[in-house]
């Protein structure tokens, strides 16, 4: 019988494998894969995303019509504006 730790380890490996496939597709220019790779990284899945690359991935997805990526950029801009306002 599998333990909870076994199930979690399997799940983690599946997520990491998914991120590897998203990476391949993102590198080939697939916008949804770029978005999924960035979101996976942001939610704590182990990825090979380089520092500063998340914005590039989200921007690529946004530029190619991924609505969720557009939402992320709007939220990011709103947060930046709020931080700038709070600095005054």
Which has the closest alpha carbon to 14: 40, 33, 53?
40
Number of domain units in the chain: 1
Whole-angstrom CA distances from 44 to 19, 38, 39, 41 are 11, 10, 9, 5
At 1 the pLDDT is 46
Q: What's the gap between Cα 65 and its chain centre?
A: 16
**What's the rounded Cα separation, in Å, for the pair 74 and 38?**
16
- The whole-number mean pLDDT for each consecutive block of 10 residues of the chain, a chain of 88 residues, reads 50 84 96 94 92 93 95 80 62
At 77 the pLDDT is 74
pTM of this structure: 0.77
**Structural domain that includes position 34:** 4-86
């Amino acid at each position: 019988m599998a333990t909870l730790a076994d199930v979690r380890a399997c799940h983690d490996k599946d997520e990491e494998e998914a991120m590897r496939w998203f990476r391949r597709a993102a590198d080939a220019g697939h916008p949804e894969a770029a978005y999924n790779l960035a979101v996976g990284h942001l939610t704590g899945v182990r990825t090979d995303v380089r520092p500063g690359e998340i914005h590039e991935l989200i921007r690529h997805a946004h530029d190619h019509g991924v609505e969720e990526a557009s939402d992320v950029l709007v939220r990011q801009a709103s947060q930046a504006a709020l931080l700038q306002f709070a600095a005054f």
